[in-house]
Amino acid sequence: MEKTITVLPGDGIGPEVTEAAVKVLQTIAKRFNHTFNLHYELIGGAAIDDCENPLPEETIKQCSQSDAILLGAVGGPKWDQNPSHLRPEKGLLAIRKHFGLYANIRPVKAIPALLDSSPLKKEVAENVDLVIVRELTGGLYFSEPREKSHDHALDTLAYSRTEIERIVDTAFQIARSRRGKLASVDKANVLDTSKLWREIVEEKRQNYPDVELEHMLVDSTAMKMITQPSAFDVIVTENMFGDILSDEASVITGSLGMLPSASTREDGFGLYEPVHGSAPDIAGQNKANPAATILSAAMMLREAFQMETEAAAVEEAVFNVLNDGNFTGDLQVEGKRVLSTTEWTAKVLEEL
Ligand code: NAI
Ligand code: MG
């Protein structure tokens, strides 16, 4: 197959971790006889430095001619004092909005070799294998009106039927492709948007009789995420609840440097990126853990290109390298062998 991928390295460790993922994609292409056409474009701080625009027209144009987008991370102290239209994260929000990427998908899977670095007890963290499906373009972060004065502030939480229906469908489909369990998380005892959410989930469940559905309140979900995280398969929720729960879930595996994500829409087109930021404290030192970006590339192979075998090969290579005792410096494992970004990536390429 021939696919076109736009690579947006971004800032900080972004260029280092995307380079590692690109090498993995090139190796996959060779091994499975695919052609991946890679185009590099600017986003975030790098784009601001180049043309005073965190998401240049040229980047949008190249992305819209691509089958998928691979992103590193954006931001850093250099741009922290910039006015809001010249902030790196504006580029990220703008690209998600431009392409209507409403479904944020974050898998969290316990990795046996890393259980010691989880803040949870080993017996609680092991067997965790869940996916959070977060609505990304609606809700409290985007609804109008909003206003703020010295003595008063207002935010609005609004959701339309269409916005809820499409994310709920996405989640049911993911649940169907996994262990067939879906937890729909809301605050239906208090919020009207949650009451509408629950009604729509009830309507939609008729189409997915093979999926076991449970409605949960967000507060009790937060508790269960710590006490019994392995009980979850797929979780679907609105934007703000998903923001909080996905960050909570991200600590279970013990390293931010391991977690991939995708932001997609119904046709599968999407942005694939690590959960972590640009890590300015270790940028340019060949220390970053490239696993999250490599695993994001695996998600791209699976979700955007329907290349299941290729995706599984990448994931297996990453886990084998860890199981053999090879780690980057961010992973707190006793008796570990600490490798640089490029050394660790070379191990993955060898596996492949
Ligand atoms: P961060 O995720 O960049 O870093 C948090 C801590 O984790 C740091 O100590 C860092 O060294 C470490 N870390 C993160 N990823 C790592 C990796 N792959 N390997 C090894 N260590 C890793 O979050 P922080 O420090 O809050 O933000 C730094 C910058 O990144 C800020 O400008 C922020 O706005 C931006 N950011 C960007 C995101 C994105 O592009 N999606 C997401 C989150 C933050
Ligand atoms: Mg967050």
pLDDT tens digits, one per residue of 225-255: 999 999 999 999 999 999 999 999 989 988 8
Torsion, Cα of 338, 344, 350, 352 (10° steps)? 130
In this predicted structure, what is the pLDDT of residue 6? Answer: 98
Q: Which ligand 1 atom sits nearest the alpha carbon of residue 290?
A: 18
Whether 268 lines ligand 1, by a CB cut-off of 6 Å, is no
Q: Which ligand 1 atom sits nearest the alpha carbon of residue 79?
A: 32
- pLDDT category, 302, cuts 50, 70, 90? very high
Is residue 18 within 8 A of residue 11, CB to CB? The reply is: no
Segment 315-338, tens digit of pLDDT? 999 999 999 999 999 987 777 789
Q: Which ligand 1 atom sits nearest the alpha carbon of residue 291?
A: 18
What ipTM does the predicted assembly reach?
0.98
Cα separation, 215 vs 184, whole angstroms: 5
Of the residues 243, 272, 330, 336, only one is catalytic, namely 243
In this predicted structure, what is the pLDDT of residue 337? Answer: 80
* Best CA proximity match to 303, nearest among 350, 269, 260, 277: 269
Hey, what are 189's tokens? Answer: 């005892």
Answer yes or no: is pLDDT of 199 > 80: yes
Q: Which ranges of the chain does DSSP label H, i.e. alpha helix?
A: 14-32, 45-51, 57-64, 88-98, 122-125, 161-177, 192-204, 218-227, 239-250, 291-299, 308-323, 341-351
In this predicted structure, what is the pLDDT of residue 331? Answer: 87
Cα separation, 209 vs 132, whole angstroms: 21
* Best CA proximity match to 351, nearest among 306, 319, 308, 309: 319
- pLDDT category, 275, cuts 50, 70, 90? very high
Mention every residue, 6+ apart, whose C-beta is less than 8 A from residue 342. Answer: 20, 286
243 is catalytic: yes
247 is catalytic: yes
Spell out the domains of the chain, with CATH numbers in brackets.
1-100+261-352 (3.40.718.10), 129-251 (3.40.50.2300)
Mention every residue, 6+ apart, whose C-beta is less than 8 A from residue 193. Answer: 139, 157, 158, 159, 238
In this predicted structure, what is the pLDDT of residue 334? Answer: 76
Of the residues 49, 116, 192, 219, only one is catalytic, namely 219
Nearest CA to ligand 1 atom 5: 279
Whether 76 lines ligand 1, by a CB cut-off of 6 Å, is yes
